[in-house]
Amino acid sequence: MGRPKKYKVELSDEQVKELKSIMNRKKTSKMIIKRCQILLDMDENHGEVCTREQCARANGVCITTITNTLSKFAKGGIEEAVSYKRNINSDNARRKVDGRAEARIIELATSPAPEGRARWTLRLLEVAGRVVLETPVSKDTIRRTLKKTQ
Burial class (CB in 10 A: 0-12, 13-18, 19+), 30: exposed
**pLDDT confidence band for 62 (50 / 70 / 90):** very high
Cβ burial 51-82 (10 Å sphere, 16+ → b, else e):
ebeebbeebebeeebbeebbebbeeeebeebb
Largest CA distance in the chain: 80
Burial class (CB in 10 A: 0-12, 13-18, 19+), 9: buried
Tell me, what's the pLDDT at 57? 92
Of 7-11, 14-18, 63-67, 84-88, the least confident = 84-88
DSSP for 75-118, please give it.
HHHHHHHTS----TTSTTSPPS--HHHHHHHHHHHHSPPPTT-S
Look at residue 4 and tell me whether its pLDDT is greater than 80.
no
Nearest to 39 by CA among 58, 54, 19, 25: 19
pLDDT digits (tens, 9 = 90+) for 88-129: 666 555 667 778 888 888 888 899 988 889 998 888 888 887
How many CA atoms lie within 13 Å of 76's alpha carbon, on the beta-carbon side?
A: 9
Among residues of the chain, what percentage have pLDDT more than 70?
88
Helices (H) and strands (E) in the chain, counts: 7, 0
Look at residue 34 and tell me whether its pLDDT is greater than 70.
yes
Spatial separation of the C-alpha atoms in residues 136 and 121, rounded to whole Å: 17
Look at residue 2 and tell me whether its pLDDT is greater than 60.
no
Highest mean pLDDT (candidates 52-61, 131-140, 141-150) = 52-61
Mean per-residue pLDDT for 60-64? Answer: 91
